[in-house]
Amino acid sequence: MKSSRMAPSEPPSTERNAPSVEAAFQAAPEEMVAEILDGELHLSPRPARPHANAASILGALLVPPFRLGRGGPGGWVIIDEPELHLGPRPDKLVPDLAGWRRERLSRAVSGEEAPAHFDLAPDWACEVLSESTRRRDKGPKMRIYAREGVRHLWHVDPLARTLDIFRLQGSDWLLVASFAGDARVRAEPFEAIELELAPLWFE
């Protein structure tokens, strides 16, 4: 097991995103994924086929047992590409998948008046790595997830055909497991069922 050290905890920042950055975020083209990380706007193209396939299949594998309780324990709300507003700036992130334990989400989040974004940090996030997002996913997004207390983080690399499982310990990410190829795995926090990795890799 390896530990990925985070910077020492600092007092919460009161700095806000610049109005020009917020305006550019709102004006981002629909075909781009817009995020604000540490006050900086990032625009990414929609995922390529291997990325989209891995995210779609993983969601299809997890939702029935963990959200719907079909063949699994239920108890989770799992959402594709939710927009997260985290921290006081706020940072605006779009993970490929995110999950909340159902008891942490109030009924208000599903009402008609609920905002389009979530300002409650998820319990689990999954990033599908690509050449255009790898540095961001492994750098500022990991730091922000740690700061906000996300307990579990997965990195899926569809080209390398790997799955890395991280657990937050204090302010550090601990790499608890790495899987590759066509393995069948039990990966926290979804170890209640066995996942087959082979379908994640686009052919």
- What is the domain range of residue 144? 2-6+48-200
Residue 7: predicted pLDDT:
42
H-run or E-run covering 154: strand 152-157
Phi, psi of 160 (to 5 degrees): -80, -15
Position 83 in a domain: yes
Residue 67: predicted pLDDT:
95
Position 195 in a domain: yes
Asked whether 156 and 126 are in contact (CB, 8 A), the reply is yes
Position 135 in a domain: yes
**What pTM was computed for the model?**
0.90
d(CA 123, CA 111): 21
Position 19 in a domain: no
Residues 6 or more apart whose Cβ sits within 8 Å of residue 53: 158, 200, 201, 202
Position 100 in a domain: yes
Residues 6 or more apart whose Cβ sits within 8 Å of residue 71: 64, 65, 193
Residue 1: predicted pLDDT:
55
Tokens of 61: 């594998």
Residues 6 or more apart whose Cβ sits within 8 Å of residue 58: 97, 126, 156, 200
H-run or E-run covering 52: helix 49-62
Position 13 in a domain: no
d(CA 120, CA 63): 20
Position 39 in a domain: no
The predicted-structure confidence for 18-30, as pLDDT tens digits, reads as follows 999 999 999 999 8
Residue 15: predicted pLDDT:
86
Q: For residue 8, which of 150, 174, 138, 147 has the smallest C-alpha distance? A: 147
Q: How many domains does the chain divide into?
A: 1
What CATH number does residue 136 fall under? 3.90.1570.10
Residues of the chain with pLDDT under 70: 1-14, 106-114, 203
Residue 202: predicted pLDDT:
80
Position 40 in a domain: no
